[in-house]
Structure 1
Amino acid sequence: MNPYPALIVCGPPHAGKSTLCHALTMALREAGVAHYLFRAAPDGEGNWTSEAPPEAARALRKKGPFDQTWLAYAVGAVASRQLPFIVDMGGRPTLEQENLLDQCQYAIVLTCDAAQHEEWLERVRRHALHIIADLRSELDAADEVTLQNGRIEGVIGGLRQDRVSIQQPALAAVLAQVRERFTWRDEDVAVYHATHTPWPAGSVEIIDFDGLLRARGQAQFHDSDRDAITASLADRQPIALYGRLWSHLVVALAKKCDVRAVFMADQGWVAPTRVRLIEAPRCESESMSLAVQVEPGQRATLRVTKLQPYLPYVDTLDAPAVPAGFSLMIDGKLPSWLLAGLATAYAGCASLSILDPRNSTTV
């Protein structure tokens, strides 16, 4: 049995599940509680859509099919989790998609009316989950909740991305219930994973992104942090990347150092993709397309397009070469194992940057 708990947040579409999940994950981060928020529906929802301006969020939110490939990935990811998981479930599951529920122990049920409520309670009961919160979502209502036999019940209001607050009574009560079950601290889990590695002890330095933020007393990284951290490491120093990875620091570290592994919440330690550069304007694999667009001023952009709802891990990949002396911007919302592999392959470019899809800026 997996030692890490899994909590599924479930209910019909438009009940506010993703907004609730985002509020919970931000509060748990601030409290130093180890966890990972897994978006189990291929609809483009994620922390970036919660944190981006409205127009950018709409562009990021691209719904994909909940097909057999995605389902197998999602069920496998939750089953093999390497951290406590909060699972944001889709609102119209088939019986087969309900296999996700079998990988979890706890549930938050979020519904909008009586018919939905009975449907979802029956679904959760079929899979023998322990319900820690059973809430009716009403956008314009005030919170009104009670604790009954270890379960939060009642009304939660205002589950809008621009209005939700972890201080409101319903969310505060739910957070307390989650923290009773998610007892691992970030530091403790980091120590465990640092001592269970596929390489000999002491041969690779682990760059713990969360630990670096804690040491700085910060909630997020800044450009000056990226520069200072990168400067503190030797050229081609063997490193591994752990924690909630900041893409811009991943690129900088992969350009300078020898990234041996990246920690993934659903897989553990994996090697970055080995990327082979070839003389072609476009390369295509089963899961993605990579194309280089050459621009004036010795600049180029690498566009990575997903050809299926998610990018499965690949150990090797072909990518288009970039003319010598060019600066390259990587455009795409990419998993860290791929981003680190691409940055390593293109380390010889005059400069490397990544487009932040939340605000169309480069860093």
Structure 2
Amino acid sequence: MNPDNENTTNTLPAILIGAPRNSGKSILTYNLSQALRQFQPPDDIPHYVFRANTDGEGDWLFEASPEEVRQLRIKGEWTDEFRELVRRDIARRLVPIIVDIGGLPGEKDHGIFSACTHSILLIKDDAKDTIQTWRNFITAHGLTPLAEIRSQLSGPSVITSQENDPVITGSITFGQERQERIYGIAFDALVKCVTALFRSYPPDELERLHRKTEPEGFEIVRLHQHLNELLPTAREWSTNLLEPLCSKLSPQAQLAVYGRGPVWLYGALALYSKNEPFRQFDPRYGWIEPPHIRSGSPVAGSETVVTLEPRPSGSKYMILVRPKIPEHYYLDYERDAGQLVFPDPPSECGIIVSGRLPLWLFTALARFYAQKNAPWIALHDASMNRAIVVYSRVAGYTIGKRVPLPG
């Protein structure tokens, strides 16, 4: 595998999930990823979900409240620049990925297909022409089909393929609500298939690859190892594990964080060593540092629009910082990190950072507002529908405390 060189063949799996519109492809993507996350070290399955769309369909779409979904979701059309950045990031992936793409592919989308290795296709009886277009693209770029599954809202989930058939066929029944989990024999077969494919690249082999570029002089925080040591039965981080984790770290160390974790965990670790350098591993870019954010007023017409929404909270005020990424825009670390401008917060106001943001922007904003001496800072975790305090210099807002969003 050669993920660090875009001009060579990247053999890490990139499974493209395609479907006509409103077929359940994002629901399937979410459920597949959640199923893969159930495996614990050393049998865990490192992977990343790359959502190659501009409509803001992330995990929060299935985990946040309906009101939060309404506020965070952004619709947009694809641009040539967007397509090229998507193709580039898929091509240089550093872990196995699931690529969430929907609608009807067009002539400008060939590059995205060429960056993938396998496909899962959801089919519908009333979209035969669309399905054939998908098949043509998959065949043209030599993707290995893993499954063609009929999407349905009712009826039993079945498998029509035989055990040794190269392509899984059958039907999956989706619930009436996005938040409903998928069950059934066809979904189980998909999980088994994807698990076997992704496990052909063992976690220790991937980690050795990533260690080659680890930043020197940093204390590497391997989240999966720490979680297994702190609570072997846990599959995900909870706020009560934050203090025990920090007790294992050197107070003045330069931290470099590796592994899957919620935004509030990364934010707390980014602030743990105060102003010391901090690094985080990104499955698209590798080891990166949170960008330096400049103080000021965003220029009218700039790509990133920041809204500040003061809401009363007891006798104090909190500020909800929800950056809005415009339609037709792909927020790219390499292009945009050095151009971010955010206004200074009002004095003595707590800060909640929310929005459909990349992890590196959450950590950058946490450090930015800590340097501005905010009394406390919380990062919004959509799965909890709460903001989690990651920094505080006042009583009443301890690190790890859940803060309801102003409403």
Normalising by structure 1, report the TM-score.
0.89
Q: Amino acid of the residue matched to residue 134 of structure 2?
A: W
* Residue 106 of structure 2, aligned match among 94, 104, 109: 94
**Residues 84-233 of structure 1: pairs in structure 2 closer than 5 A:** 84-113=96-125, 114-145=128-159, 146-147=161-162, 149-158=165-174, 161-166=178-183, 168-183=184-199, 184-197=201-214, 199-200=215-216, 203-215=217-229, 216=231, 217-233=233-249
Q: Structure 1 residues 130, 295: CA separation in 2 closer, same or farther (over 3 Å shift)?
A: closer
How far apart are residue 294 of structure 1 and its match? 5.2
More strand as a share of residues? 1
Q: Structure 1 residues 284, 231: CA separation in 2 closer, same or farther (over 3 Å shift)?
A: farther
Q: 58-67 vs 6-15, which deviates more?
A: 58-67
How far apart are residue 259 of structure 1 and its match? 4.5
* Residue 284 of structure 2, aligned match among 258, 266, 275: 266
How far apart are residue 36 of structure 1 and its match? 0.8
Q: 1-10 vs 322-331, which deviates more?
A: 322-331
3-state SS of 1:30 partner: coil
Q: Structure 1 residues 299, 23: CA separation in 2 closer, same or farther (over 3 Å shift)?
A: closer
Counterpart of 1:8 in structure 2 is 16
How far apart are residue 100 of structure 1 and its match? 1.1
Q: 339-348 vs 116-125, which deviates more?
A: 116-125
How far apart are residue 182 of structure 1 and its match? 1.1
Task: Give RMSD over aligned pairs.
Answer: 2.4
Residue 62 (1) aligns with residue 74 (2): yes
**Contact 1:291–1:320 (CA<8 Å) still a contact in 2?**
no
Q: Structure 1 residues 243, 30: CA separation in 2 closer, same or farther (over 3 Å shift)?
A: same
How far apart are residue 25 of structure 1 and its match? 0.8
**Contact 1:7–1:85 (CA<8 Å) still a contact in 2?**
yes
In the aligned structure 1, how far is the partner of 2:325 from the partner of 2:96? 27
In the aligned structure 1, how far is the partner of 2:386 from the partner of 2:179? 22
**Contact 1:2–1:79 (CA<8 Å) still a contact in 2?**
yes
**Same amino acid, percent of matched pairs:** 26
Q: Amino acid of the residue matched to residue 351 of structure 1?
A: W
**Contact 2:263–2:359 (CA<8 Å) still a contact in 1?**
yes
In the aligned structure 2, how far is the partner of 1:45 from the partner of 1:252? 26
Structure 1 unaligned runs (5+)?
Answer: none
**Contact 1:332–1:357 (CA<8 Å) still a contact in 2?**
no
In the aligned structure 1, how far is the partner of 2:356 from the partner of 2:15? 26
Structure 2 unaligned runs (5+)?
Answer: 1-8, 389-407
3-state SS of 1:362 partner: strand
Normalising by structure 2, report the TM-score.
0.80
Q: 204-213 vs 90-99, which deviates more?
A: 204-213
Aligned length: 357
How far apart are residue 18 of structure 1 and its match? 1.0
**Contact 2:113–2:141 (CA<8 Å) still a contact in 1?**
yes
Residue 341 (1) aligns with residue 364 (2): yes
